[in-house]
Structure 1
Amino acid sequence: MSDLEKAKENFLNGSNPTGFQLAETDVSRLFQIPQRLYGRAQELLKLETYFENTTNGAVEFCLVSGYSGVGKSVLVQELGRSIAKKTWVFNPRKIRSIPSKRSICGHCKCF
């Protein structure tokens, strides 16, 4: 809104209404963490290689594991973006561990 107010003020004063830098005072009301991948090029390349192998007929199975907050989900999302550019369908699934002695099986269906 401040850009519009500044343009109106410049117009009413007879000066150029567009003669100022846009968005100088813009501040987001929400704190947002960018969903970008930094420093994971090797891991992403390895996952993309697994995917490329499957497009050539190979059977691959891959689990992404690690401590909470290290960027596993962002890594898999970035892989999904890469695959979507090639017009493939990518359907990742999260398997949460349950503190018990039962085994858990995760399923992923691609169509």
Structure 2
Amino acid sequence: MHIGIDLGTTNSLIVVFRDGKPEPIPNALGAVLTPSVVAIKDGSLIVGDTAREVSQAQPAMAAALFKRVMGTERRYKLGREEFGAPLRAMRFWAARTLQRRWPAISPRNRGRM
């Protein structure tokens, strides 16, 4: 099984290749595109549509358009916390999305397929 992750500047997407064809994996809300936005809400790091809503209501609690600065020293302050370019949050989103759809792809099982 091959998996592709497109971490886009505006939206992100995960696909699994089956029989040579890409099959998009929907997120927890059923959409195949997830906004590339991270935010802090109620003390938790969130991504996607919910994070985009937070960014509109509380811009100081969210970050978007961070793809261009990944791998640099750029830091983001979200509320009282400071983070490097939020790649870790988007990786977490990708892993959680894959695990929900295919539990066999969990990090513990990665090399066993």
Both proteins in one fold, TM over 0.5? no
> Which structure exhibits the higher relative contact order, with contacts defined as CA atoms closer than 8 Å and separated by 6 or more residues?
2
- Give the TM-score, by structure 2 length: 0.30
Which protein has the bigger strand share? 2
Given the two structures, how large is their TM-score scaled by the length of structure 1?
Answer: 0.30
